[in-house]
Copies of this chain bind each other. A is one copy, B any other.
Amino acid sequence: MSGLSATRCGLPKESVAENGAPPRGKVLTIDTMNPTVKMVEYAVRGPIVQRAVELEKELSEGRKKPFQEVIKANIGDAHAMGQQPITFFRQVLALCSYPELLNDSTFPEDAKSRARRILQSCGGNSMGSYSASQGIDSVRQDVARYVQQRDGGVYCDPDNIYLTTGASDGIVTMLKLLVCGEGASRTGVMISIPQYPLYSAALAELGAVQINYYLNEEACWSMDIGELQRALDEARGHCNPRALCIINPGNPTGQVQNRKCIEDVIRFAAKERLFLMADEVYQDNVYADGCEFHSFKKVLFEMGPEYSNTVELASFHSTSKCYMGECGFRGGYMEIINMDDEVKAQLTKLVSVRLCPPVPGQALMGLVVNPPQPGEPSHENFMKERTATLSALADKARLTEEVLNTVPGISCNPVQGAMYSFPRISIPEKAVKEAAGQGQQPDMFYCMRLLEETGICLVPGSGFGQKDGTYHFRMTILPPADKLKILLSKVKEFHQRFTKQYS
């Protein structure tokens, strides 16, 4: 926030009226507002999505369009694309919302016992009470048990678990703790390019320095230590690099990092004294043969005490993705490893100002980490629903890659995990020029045209970052199979038409 002249943020030109009459001109204008907020960008809900909403409105008003419906593949919003909630989770949430239902014999016993456990941990047995700012104790205990089991027994301390308002809240809170310094000693944070724009938005708002490291598209969006080193060395001159963010499985790029890569990254972070932030919200979304999710924490502890006792790590999870897709509840947690005790006390104080994360989201997070067990009445149906959702996603991941790779001028890495493909698209020189003429990024121009001509809403690669001179779009694999097929064939037709027109 340095370098702002007093005039820009000082009193507006008009002198203050002394006669008590209201003076002209606003107190808060684009010139006198927080300049870091102006630097924030968030493509996932940017202009293209606003236009998609307008088009839906125009269609509903009967306006003629070259398409019957808008298909949104811009955001990882599973239920909006027709994915069904997990019955057990919703039964427990209904029981917690209206406990009279605990007397309803149609609800299974395991749902009732989960609901009782949650309500007993709520003040006055009500989800309407504030929880502890760090989150409901019993939920944090269940999260710890889940993480420990996931990581092959590596100990997880419930005191290191903080429940959050979705993963975004935890990520921004951690970045907030890390930001400090002015000028050349300002905190720098390494993020992948392509990235999920929450990171660039938060860093802009916090006035931190964004350090870009590029994922290797040629090697299926893998991380390359040489590239991390290059980015870090170039940054050292003008900022103080203190943190390294990894999204695995990847958003927007859909890769799953292998164990060796994660080890190398941990070694790099240890050597370069970087705080690791592992965004692992897609940990159950792994589709490709031979791919497996490895949590940073598990790998860290398997590397032995010289790493597990020193490397500082925050890992983030959420109710919004995986097989549950419960975005609207804004549930999540973060686990912090090797955090300095005084800093941890500051973190606990900081989260207390916002009182607590939403309790229904906390309850849902608690169910995700403590689902029906074998022998419980709801187990069979839970597994059926979970498996059906994940295998449908796996099928759509394969279908997306296959179809896009049949299009000349589109090349798509395998969607190994997460919920997105990030194909590279060739855009003819003529189109690049026309985009420039309209002051648009070429892939924004491309996606806008796609939307206007086909009703398909994708996000341009420029919203996530990409190597100069390359163009991409991010597309979710969430639409139902039949709609996804239509979407892919329309993209195929459009790309051929677009390429022909501008060649």
Using a CB–CB distance below 8 Å, which chain A residues touch chain B?
1-2, 4, 6, 8-12, 16-18, 20-24, 26-30, 32-35, 37-38, 40-42, 45, 75, 77-83, 85, 90-91, 93-95, 97-98, 101, 122-124, 126-131, 133, 165-166, 168-169, 176-187, 197-198, 201-202, 205, 207, 240, 242-243, 267, 270-275, 306-307, 310-312, 324-330, 338-340, 342-343, 346, 349-350, 352-361
**Interface pairs A-B: 3 shortest CB-CB:** A80-B123, A9-B181, A328-B359
Please judge, given known A-B contacts A340-B28, A353-B201, A358-B329, whether A273 and B16 are in contact too, CB under 8 Å.
yes
Question: Which residues does chain B contribute within 8 Å of A328, judged by CB atoms?
Answer: 122, 126-131, 356, 358-360
Residues of B within 8 A of A353 (CB): 40, 42, 168, 197-198, 201-202, 205
A99 to chain B, nearest CB (A): 8
Of all chain B residues, which has the CB nearest A53? Answer: B132
Residue of B nearest to A182 (CB): B4
Looking at the assembled complex, report how far the CB atom of A93 sits from the nearest CB atom of chain B, in whole angstroms: 4
Chain B neighbourhood of A240, CB < 8 A: 9-11
Chain B nearest CB, measured from A128 CB (Å): 4
A-B contact pairs, 24 of them (CB 8 A): A4-B180, A6-B184, A9-B187, A9-B240, A11-B240, A16-B273, A21-B306, A27-B273, A29-B342, A33-B178, A33-B343, A41-B349, A78-B128, A80-B124, A80-B130, A85-B126, A90-B98, A94-B98, A127-B329, A128-B328, A129-B327, A168-B354, A198-B353, A360-B361
Write out the residue numbers on chain B whose beta carbons fall within 8 Å of the beta carbon of A10.
181, 185, 240
| Interfacial chain B residues near A178, Cβ < 8 Å | 28, 33-34
Asked whether B338 lies within 8 Å of A358 as measured between CB atoms, the reply is no
The reply to whether B80 and A27 form a contact with Cβ atoms under 8 Å apart is no
Copies of this chain in the oligomer? 2
Complex Cα gap A130–B107 (Å): 27
Inter-chain CA distance A95–B312, complex, in Å, is 43
> Which residue on B lies nearest to A324, using beta carbons?
B128
Please indicate the chain B residues that have their CB under 8 angstroms from the CB of A177 in the complex. 28, 33-34, 37
The listed residue (B1, B28, B81, B129) touching A339 by CB distance below 8 A is B28
A182 touches B6 (CB 8 A): yes
With contacts A81-B124, A274-B27, A355-B168 known, is A22 near B310, CB below 8 A?
yes
Pairwise interchain contact B349-A180, C-beta atoms closer than 8 A = no
- Is there an interface contact between A32 and B180, defined as CB atoms closer than 8 Å? yes
CA distance A98 to B95 in the complex (A): 9
Q: How far is the CB of A49 from chain B (nearest CB, A)?
A: 9
Q: With contacts A26-B340, A42-B353 known, is A271 near B17, CB below 8 A? A: yes
Q: How far is the CA of A452 from the CA of B243 in the complex (A)?
A: 43
Contacts of A40 in B (CB 8 A): 349-350, 353
- Contact indicator A91/B98 (Cβ below 8 Å): yes
Q: Which of A22, A176, A267, A272 has the most CB of B within 10 A?
A: A22
Q: Which residues on B sit within 8 Å (CB–CB) of A77? A: 123, 129-130
| Min CB–CB distance A36 → chain B (angstroms) | 9
A129 partner residues in chain B, CB cutoff 8 A: 77, 79-80, 327-328
Residue of B nearest to A325 (CB): B128
> Which of B34, B82, B184, B272 is in CB contact (< 8 Å) with A176?
B34
Known A35-B180, A340-B30: A6·B79 in contact at CB below 8 Å: no
Residues of B within 8 A of A42 (CB): 349, 352-353
Q: Nearest chain-B residue to A111 (Cβ)?
A: B98
Give CA–CA (A409, B354) in the complex, Å: 35
> Which of A29, A37, A178 has the most C-beta atoms of chain B within 10 angstroms of its own C-beta?
A37
Asked if A354 meets B169 with Cβ closer than 8 Å, knowing A22-B271, A34-B180, A179-B34, the reply is yes
